[in-house]
Amino acid sequence: MSVAEILHRKGSEVSTIRSVDPVDVAVQRLRELRIGALVVMDRWGKFVGMISERHIVRGLERYGVKVLSSRVDEIMSHDVVTCAPEDRVDKAMAQMTVHRVRHLPVVEHDRIIGIVSIGDLVKSQLETKEQEARVLRDMAAAHV
């Protein structure tokens, strides 16, 4: 299965925040949307990074509650690993494992067209395995 197929199923909405917004706004948005990461855009709408729950926790450890009034760009990841819509799920999972991330923006023609999480990828793998098992059971039943 490809990343594009996952986006087709789950939707391609990308939740964003501005790099100059305070971290407490990111916390609110993550909670309201019940998600684990936001794509960070600069004032011109250009993709410049990601902020996740992990960044906030690390910021709290390092700076204490003062981090909540810091700007998002002070604690976010600037070098973000991305994937392409034609990438296979196993490739995307490998990237997440190697880079120790839980979210991958999906980029096509220098534009973010969606985002996939480790949960999305695991769910797709489980669905594929369940479908394979059904086919094998059907084949076995047909030969009895």
Indicate which CATH number applies to the domain containing 68.
3.10.580.10
111: containing domain: 3-142
8 A C-beta contact, residue 26 and residue 107: no
Under the banding of pLDDT at 50, 70 and 90, the label for residue 124 is confident
pLDDT at residue number 46: 92
Domain count, the chain: 1
Q: How far apart are CA 48 and CA 74, in angstroms?
A: 12
* pLDDT at position 53: 95
The model's pLDDT over 61-86, given as tens digits with 9 standing for 90+, comes to 999 999 999 999 999 999 999 999 99
Range in 21-35, 90-104, 115-129 with the lowest mean pLDDT: 115-129
Cβ atoms < 10 Å from Cβ of 65: 9
